Structure 1
Amino acid sequence: MLKSLFTVVFSFLFISLNFAQIKKTSTPNWVEIQTYASEPNIDLDEVTQGTLILLYDQQTQVDSEENYFKVVTKITENVGIQEASSINISFDPSYQNLSFHEIDIIRNGQTISKLNSSEFQTIRQELDAENYIYDGSLSAVTHISDVRVGDIIAYSFTRKGYNPIHKNYFAEYYNLDNSHPIGKINIKINSKNKLEVKSFKNQLKFKETFNNNKYTYSLLEENISATHFEDNTPSWFLDANFIEIGNYKSWENLIDWGVQLFKVKDNLSTSLLKKIKEIDKENNTKGQKIEATLRFVQDEVRYLGLENGISAYKPSSPNKVYNQRFGDCKDKSLLLVTMLNQMNIEAYPVLVSTYLKKTVTNLLPNPAHFNHCVVKVIDGNEGERWYDPTITNQGGTFNKVVFPDYRFGLVLKKGNKGFEEIFPFAENTIDITDNYILEEVGKGAILKITSVYSEAEADNIRFYFKNNSIINIQKEFEKFYSDYHANIKSLGKPEYTDNLKTNTFTINETYKIDSIWQPSYMENQIGVDFTPYTITNVLSMPSKIERETPFELSYPITRSHTINVELPEEWNVDEDNFNLSSPNIFYDFDVLYNKSKNILTLKHLLKIQKDFVSVAEFPAFYNDLKKLDSELNYNISYNIGGSSTSTGSALKYLGIFVFICFLIFFTWLAFKLYHYDVTPKIESYYQENKPIGGWLILIGIGLCISPIRVFMDLLNTEVYLNGDWLVYFGGADFSFSIGLLLIIETIFNAAVLVFLPLIILLFIKKRSSFPKVYAIFLIVYFVFIVADSFIATALTGVNSLTSVEENQLIKSFISTGIIIPYLLLSERVKETFIKRYQ
């Protein structure tokens, strides 16, 4: 609701020179003027984009069809001037008038009027033009001159007039959560008739009063914090203070309204009747007639929506749509229904919400909840079929045409009282077979790929091929596979077969890969990774295990990915199976090996079981994804000395896992340490926000270099990152003492990798805790490397340190001896690092 009032539209299609629909009037006498605080009690750290909304006021007179709005915005940063100084209000000129009451700048307590109707432009904006929908709405646009940081911009206006298609019905909804903090929100609705009200989240509610023969519904909230929304939350989940109000008594009430809208009153034209008779004569069964009619409406009547005024809800006549050969979803749906009805096939328009899905059944009746129209058909066997006439180039017979997962529909049939649930039947499978023919070890390979797309996936890839040239497709495919094999080149254009009856689309590709073998993390070893990209493209690892809202999944889909590897020689492969089954996903992975043909086969199968993961299920789902992620990538490796392996030693992988666990543990500790606060002693002569300078610059450079140096040392040592530290600990050549020392070194290296970035962050943020934390870190680091060096020397029987080790200890001693006193005693350090944790 708020976003549409504060977003500046940058692209427009048509510009009109006159703005006769805009009037300059005084504020209506029925409006209750709202005050606001110029310094509201909100967290200023939540303010974004340089603007703070001080007041959002919306007042409605239902009976006179008037909506009053007032918005007051304070500019806190220069980046907010652009947005706050541009006013853009949309309206539909076919039934609405727009009146502005004020556009003011409040600066230093003085009000400067900027309302000048001659400076307005009417601009025709089409925000959904890329989807071929044109609603005919206009925007009143003006740009305020001489706006400065610290100014308060206040403007108010009234839109008068409701879409006449609603007759005496009124319905509105308010989303009162926003990504910006708001000083004050005021909502007020006056109506002579009682209205139905429904709240979600139940934190904000309307207050109802009855005076002077009218009902008033009001809501007043101050100092509203910004709302932060989680990623991957399903669109149907209303994680907001959402309030509805209206006078539709029931869904049956709305269905009856819709039935009247979709009633065809004109006699069908001669040309349309001729087309219907042609389809009726050429097809014998009802199923064939349904399929032929659907194909005609989908593929020969293009999608184009001209939805200004009542056309936003009322469909055009079938005669008009047939003759012009274009229409929007409701136009095409009514044409399909009319043609089928004429052939004595029962069919009805259906209103659906592509984003609310199941949630729409819990809302109050409101036509605005529906953004799409489809068709329900009863075939000859009394079976229910659902079709979306806006989708083009669909395959499958009439009883196998894929219908999107809209979940619930409002069938516009007289006597219906509510929603009908629509169950998706398709699995939408992509079946990939990768055949690798490896040349001799260390060389390249030939890759042959066969991809079979079914149901909705076939519809999607068919659309892609029809809209792109084969040459461009070849380049796009080659670019896609280059993410997995750097030296890959297509050996020809992709060949495809399209079977419309079975709705399968098959693609065959061939590639040449130079140098498919890559150096391994193990010394003197090379390897090849095989990744089921169709599965990795579907599942992504969430960033954290804690969650407050459901997690959306792509549904319904099935992915089957088989990788056959023709090896150049006999290989050491352990056949294996991994299986994961949960309420949300099913995954099966098989490792097979044909010794007689030297063929390694990796079979992956993934099915998404439902469209979302609940909050209660999410921790288990997160852990399942971690397990699955560890199995997806399969590696074969070859010792340059001459032996082949599959995935390596179990102890080595356990060592990697334990090292990662240490990293996670120290990350948690670092997070706790980040909250550690030190109260600085601030002298009166300290410079405010003193910049980092002097010797601190050298310390900062050294700090930034340190993580790189430490990580490079670990890469050169390898024993910790590749898990070999645990192999050595379990080896016969090593004593328990050496193994224990390796464990301690592993823990210490994991700690250093985590805490160095933390210290850098404290340094950059000039936190008061930085000097103390960094000093302790330097002391611990120096003590450890000294102790570790001498213990290792003693355990291995070496009499003395190497010259490199001695130089490292000397440098560490000198730098520690200089930096620590500077950190703890320098006045510049004390004056610079004074920021507290907020």
Structure 2
Amino acid sequence: MENQVQVENYKIQQPEMWAGNIGDQELQDRIKDSEFAKKQIDEGRDYCYFLDKKYYSSNTENSEYVFMAYTLNEPGNLERASVSDIIVEENEVYQIHRISVLRDGVLIDKIPDTKIKVLDSENQSSGGVLSSNKKINITIKDLRLYDVLILEDTRVKVFTDRDFLRKSFSKYVWVSPDNYWAYGLFKFTFINEREQRVAYKKTFFRDEIGNVLEPEINYLNKGEQFVIEEQNYINPVDSGREIFPYIDFATESTWKELSNYIVPMYDEVLNTSFLKDFAPNLIEKLDAISNQDEKLQFAIEYVQNHIYYIFNADEMSGHKPQEPSVTYENKQGDCKAKSVLLKIILDYIGVDASVVLVNFNTDYYIKYYLPSLLSFNHVVVKVNYKGEEYFIDATTRDEFGLIENRGFIYFMQYLEVKKDQELQMRKSYKFPYFCVDEKIDFHVQGNIGKLNLITVYKGNRANAMRKYFKNTNKREIIDSWNSFLFYSLNYSNDRNGTDVRNIFKDAVIDVVGDDKKLNEVKIQYTATVDNPYYVDPQKNRFLMYFDRNLVKAGARDFMHKDLPFWHNYDSEKYEINLYTDQKIDTGEKYTVQESTITNPYFDFKSRKKISKNGASVFIEYSPLVNLEIPQNEFEAFREDHHTIADSNFGLGIDIIEPGLINSLKFSFKKRFK
């Protein structure tokens, strides 16, 4: 075997006592082609003869043992099995117990054919991500189609002093296996060797007809095990519409106990650190600002933009924040450090603020999880100002505006770093401004159209648009707008395949305004369009402008059985003006159609103004966001979005062609419509 010298990141050894030890003969006895196995293989499905997982948790280590044997009947699986990567954390060791294949009834040890490389897994350090993770690259030579691959290994994470939280608290989430595979035997074991009792909660398990069962909570004392075992098993979950069943294991605790555990760690720095002791230059700048709104804006943007964000992956599982004086002096820190510094600054200027724990990635699940500090992966600052509640992510960059104009962060669950706290549910939110406010003017004379768009972006949209214009080639930006307009003006239906640059002549786009206090970015786009009318197969001409951003396809197509719909759309306002030197049908149904929708979760209004040579529509869409829509209310919500999609997301006008015959045709059409 290559790489004979052992390194600290991996070892080749026998399993630990708790994992068990299986000999070669017993292993071969497990790999039998039952009727169930033959059926799966005949259907072209790769087959796992057995998957035995064990998770061992103590106050000194967490270890995960896996023993499995599966077919390599598909070229893709063969390729993935031949070369694989294992990521190990600091002080984590990957133990290899067995790499074998069963080929034509013969068990062959493949460890001599295995090449192992240990590589640094730090590929983002230039972006402030610090990690001492290692990547263990494993290459197995001479794997063949129709081999049965046998892998047995353990990942052992021994806790250091930096892992004080993991020493005190266990957290592990088991998820039911991939529904691609068929399993002859599937077995999972959780072994509790901690001094503390471990709770486990079974969630999203289903009965025989697929209905979700009520969550079930049980407990494991030290030395006890939980086992789940299935034979001839295919996971029945409809992965597109259902959540995989999972079991959450966590040291028995309450949110109140956890908040009281963590508060002293933050109080240690918050109650002993004062801005006047380490930041006289910053105080001088703050004191020079007389307006409190602007002073608050300056404080937030100072921490966001002048303190470099360092994500130290090895310390994120702990919760001891860096001293704010160190963060200020070094001009860098992780989310805890930046949030604590921001709170110290806000304390100085007299703004009420607190540090809160969140997890944007698994926010939906936190309400189902057992209480655990290890459920959180990020820290932000909650600000109470002028009777309103705001959340500020101190690690964000290039964000602007007085606090009420800043971007909105979407999440629902959080734990405030104060005594005796429970997990809190964030309030729903109504934008006090329109995130998009756009005016479209399209004037057509003869066969030439002049197109002018003025768009004001605010909040998150303004921040995103600044970055987009800063980082994107202008030609690419114009092409993007051209492509959008190609569909909005319905040209995709009468000149599909035409280069958009040949349709929108002399297109120009510029940022014409940027107010950093209001957090508003104003953009203007102009272009000339030859042949501006959409022409249908019957040679009828139309001017159309329909903004498909208003058609929320995600809401209309949503079909999930378990997940409620997460409502997070922006508020929008549009004025669309279409003018022509031709006579138009002022009574056409869809031209004059207006709508008013008052849904518990959004208000929608479209109003029209019609003249003999043109029309205007005024549209406002105001959603209530940052909430889940209950399933029993979703169909009405969906139906209202269907109503928007029924020609209420823009404007179309029909041209009455000149001439007596055309007028007679038009009158006849109207009479018998």
Q: Give the TM-score normalised by structure 2.
A: 0.81
**CA drift at 1:271:** 9.3
Q: Is the 8 A contact 1:193 1:215 kept in 2?
A: no
1:516 alignment counterpart: 532
Q: Is the 8 A contact 1:171 1:247 kept in 2?
A: yes
The within-5 A match list for 1:729-748 is none
Q: Select 1:136's aligned residue among 132, 135, 141.
A: 132
Which structure features the higher share of strand residues?
Answer: 2
Q: Select 1:481's aligned residue among 485, 504, 508.
A: 485
State whether structure 2 residue 71 is matched by structure 1 residue 74.
Answer: yes
**CA drift at 1:68:** 3.4
2:644 alignment counterpart: 628
1:408 alignment counterpart: 413
2:496 alignment counterpart: none
The within-5 A match list for 1:82-231 is 82-93=79-90, 95-116=91-112, 119-126=115-122, 132-160=128-156, 161-162=158-159, 164-166=163-165, 167-183=167-183, 184-191=186-193, 192-203=195-206, 214-226=223-235
Q: Is the 8 A contact 1:388 1:403 kept in 2?
A: no
Q: Is the 8 A contact 2:602 2:621 kept in 1?
A: yes
Give the SS at the match of 1:511.
strand
Q: Distance in 2 between matches of 1:518 and 1:139?
A: 57
State whether structure 2 residue 24 is matched by structure 1 residue 19.
Answer: no
**CA drift at 1:210:** 7.5
Q: Distance in 2 between matches of 1:29 and 1:20?
A: 21
State whether structure 2 residue 609 is matched by structure 1 residue 592.
Answer: yes
Q: Select 2:553's aligned residue among 506, 522, 539.
A: 539
- Superposed CA RMSD in Å reads 3.7
Q: Is the 8 A contact 1:553 1:613 kept in 2?
A: yes
Q: Distance in 2 between matches of 1:98 and 1:37?
A: 25
Q: Distance in 1 between matches of 2:44 and 2:289?
A: 62
State whether structure 2 residue 512 is matched by structure 1 residue 496.
Answer: yes
Query: Match for 2:334: what amino acid?
Result: D
Q: Is the 8 A contact 2:67 2:153 kept in 1?
A: no
Query: Match for 1:186: what amino acid?
Result: F
**CA drift at 1:337:** 1.9
Give the SS at the match of 1:527.
strand
Residue by residue over 1:536-571, the C-alpha shift from the partner in whole angstroms, topping out at 9 and shown as x without a partner, is 4x4357558x65244645514212222101221332
Residue by residue over 1:582-622, the C-alpha shift from the partner in whole angstroms, topping out at 9 and shown as x without a partner, is 33443333332134xx3311223333344554443444444
2:209 alignment counterpart: none
**CA drift at 1:404:** 0.9
2:343 alignment counterpart: 337
2:497 alignment counterpart: none
Q: Distance in 2 between matches of 1:590 and 1:459?
A: 30
**CA drift at 1:111:** 1.9
Query: Match for 2:632: what amino acid?
Result: A
Q: Is the 8 A contact 1:553 1:608 kept in 2?
A: no
Q: Is the 8 A contact 2:595 2:605 kept in 1?
A: yes
State whether structure 2 residue 246 is matched by structure 1 residue 242.
Answer: yes
The within-5 A match list for 1:748-827 is none
2:382 alignment counterpart: 376
Residue by residue over 1:489-523, the C-alpha shift from the partner in whole angstroms, topping out at 9 and shown as x without a partner, is 3443424211122222211221111111232132x
Q: Select 2:619's aligned residue among 601, 604, 608.
A: 604
Q: Is the 8 A contact 1:22 1:100 kept in 2?
A: yes
**CA drift at 1:421:** 2.6
Give the SS at the match of 2:464.
helix
Query: Match for 2:129: what amino acid?
Result: I
**CA drift at 1:220:** 1.9
Q: Distance in 2 between matches of 1:79 and 1:50?
A: 11
Q: Which has the higher contact order (CA 8 A, sep 6+)?
A: 2
Distance change in 2, residues 1:56/1:261 (3 Å): farther
Mean Cα deviation higher: 472-481 or 72-81:
472-481
2:210 alignment counterpart: none
Which structure features the higher share of helix residues?
Answer: 1
Residue by residue over 1:315-347, the C-alpha shift from the partner in whole angstroms, topping out at 9 and shown as x without a partner, is 444344334433332232122123333556543
1:365 alignment counterpart: 371
**CA drift at 1:173:** 1.3
Distance change in 2, residues 1:324/1:130 (3 Å): closer
Give the SS at the match of 2:403.
coil
The share of aligned pairs that are identical, in percent, is 17
Give the SS at the match of 1:466.
helix
Q: Is the 8 A contact 2:263 2:417 kept in 1?
A: yes
State whether structure 2 residue 574 is matched by structure 1 residue 561.
Answer: yes
Q: Distance in 1 between matches of 2:47 and 2:125?
A: 30
Residue by residue over 1:667-700, the C-alpha shift from the partner in whole angstroms, topping out at 9 and shown as x without a partner, is xxxxxxxxxxxxxxxxxxxxxxxxxxxxxxxxxx
Mean Cα deviation higher: 109-118 or 41-50:
41-50
Q: Distance in 2 between matches of 1:605 and 1:90?
A: 49
Q: Select 2:593's aligned residue among 570, 573, 576.
A: 576
Q: Distance in 1 between matches of 2:293 and 2:624?
A: 30
Q: Distance in 2 between matches of 1:512 and 1:190?
A: 72
Query: Match for 2:200: what amino acid?
Result: V
Q: Distance in 1 between matches of 2:544 and 2:262?
A: 57
Give the SS at the match of 1:562.
strand
Distance change in 2, residues 1:117/1:159 (3 Å): farther
Q: Is the 8 A contact 1:60 1:190 kept in 2?
A: yes
Residue segments in structure 1 that go unaligned for 5+ positions in a row: 1-16, 653-726, 732-838
Q: Is the 8 A contact 1:353 1:371 kept in 2?
A: yes
1:456 alignment counterpart: 460
**CA drift at 1:530:** 1.8
Q: Distance in 1 between matches of 2:217 and 2:32?
A: 26
**CA drift at 1:170:** 1.3
Q: Distance in 1 between matches of 2:668 and 2:61?
A: 73
Q: Is the 8 A contact 1:52 1:75 kept in 2?
A: no
**CA drift at 1:62:** 2.1
Q: Is the 8 A contact 2:57 2:170 kept in 1?
A: no
Q: Is the 8 A contact 1:202 1:241 kept in 2?
A: yes
Return the index of the structure with the highest Cα Rg.
1
Distance change in 2, residues 1:227/1:320 (3 Å): farther
Q: Distance in 1 between matches of 2:632 and 2:225?
A: 40
Residue by residue over 1:424-449, the C-alpha shift from the partner in whole angstroms, topping out at 9 and shown as x without a partner, is 34355211111011112xx1200010
Q: Is the 8 A contact 1:304 1:326 kept in 2?
A: yes
Q: Is the 8 A contact 2:617 2:650 kept in 1?
A: no
Q: Is the 8 A contact 2:73 2:146 kept in 1?
A: yes
Residue by residue over 1:257-316, the C-alpha shift from the partner in whole angstroms, topping out at 9 and shown as x without a partner, is 433444555867999422442244223465444322111011222333132256765444
Distance change in 2, residues 1:292/1:18 (3 Å): farther
**CA drift at 1:29:** 1.5
Q: Distance in 2 between matches of 1:363 and 1:394?
A: 32
Residue segments in structure 2 that go unaligned for 5+ positions in a row: 207-212, 492-499
Residue by residue over 1:701-747, the C-alpha shift from the partner in whole angstroms, topping out at 9 and shown as x without a partner, is xxxxxxxxxxxxxxxxxxxxxxxxxx9xx79xxxxxxxxxxxxxxxx
Query: Match for 1:82: what amino acid?
Result: E
Distance change in 2, residues 1:455/1:207 (3 Å): closer
Q: Distance in 1 between matches of 2:572 and 2:654?
A: 27
Q: Distance in 1 between matches of 2:353 and 2:555?
A: 44
Distance change in 2, residues 1:633/1:53 (3 Å): farther
How many pairs are equivalent?
A: 622
The within-5 A match list for 1:48-59 is 52=48, 54-59=50-55
Give the SS at the match of 1:119.
strand
